[in-house]
Structure formats: structure tokens, C-alpha cells
């Protein structure tokens, strides 16, 4: 499932594979030749998440950007590239 959140819509390269059983929401960018497998959750409801070229997000992984109200906030996140 691919969803917008707070006016931000995931941007997914045409060459990327995204399983219909994955959940992608918010300010997410998925690069060329990536693969997102069943059960993966990529949730960018606070900060941006960028998945770089040729990166695989395997089954049941959860990637969530940090909350701006949390003192240990991770903020924006990049994986790959």
C-alpha cells in the first residue's frame, strides 16, 4: 500500500519493485533498481526517508524517521548511496 501523508506522497523509481504487501507512507524516495519486499514498512510521517539505488529492503523490515518532538530524534534518514 502506498499512501500520502500531510501532503507528501512517496516517489518511487519506475525500475523499483515494491511488493503489494509492503506499506509505504509519506515523504519517501525509493531509487532506481530497489526492491521492497512483503511486510516491509517505510513510514516517513515526520522526517524524509531516502532509499538509494540498488537497495533491498527485506521482508518485515520497519524503517521510520524520527519524531521532531522526541529528544533522541533521528530526523531525516538515508539508506544506500
Let me know if domain 2-65 sits in CATH 2.160.10.10.
yes
Low pLDDT (below 50) residues in the chain: none
Residue 46: its pLDDT value, please?
Answer: 86
Residue 62: its pLDDT value, please?
Answer: 97
Residue 81: its pLDDT value, please?
Answer: 85
In the chain, domain spans = 2-65
Residue 70: its pLDDT value, please?
Answer: 58
Residue 66: its pLDDT value, please?
Answer: 72
Q: Give this prediction's pTM.
A: 0.88
Burial of 54 (0-12, 13-18, 19+ CB in 10 A): middle
Residue 35 bridge partners (DSSP): 17, 56
5-34: buried (b, 16+ CB within 10 Å) or exposed (e) per residue?
eeeeebebeeebebeeebebbbbbbbbeeb
Amino acid at each position: 500500500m502506498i499512501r500520502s501523508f500531510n501532503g507528501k506522497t512517496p516517489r518511487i523509481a519506475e525500475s523499483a519493485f515494491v511488493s503489494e504487501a509492503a506499506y509505504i507512507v509519506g515523504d519517501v524516495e525509493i531509487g532506481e533498481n530497489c526492491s521492497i519486499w512483503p511486510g516491509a514498512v517505510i513510514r516517513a510521517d515526520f522526517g524524509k526517508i531516502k532509499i538509494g539505488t540498488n537497495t533491498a529492503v527485506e521482508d518485515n523490515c520497519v524503517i521510520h524517521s524520527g519524531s521532531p518532538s522526541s529528544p533522541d530524534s533521528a530526523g531525516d534518514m538515508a539508506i544506500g548511496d
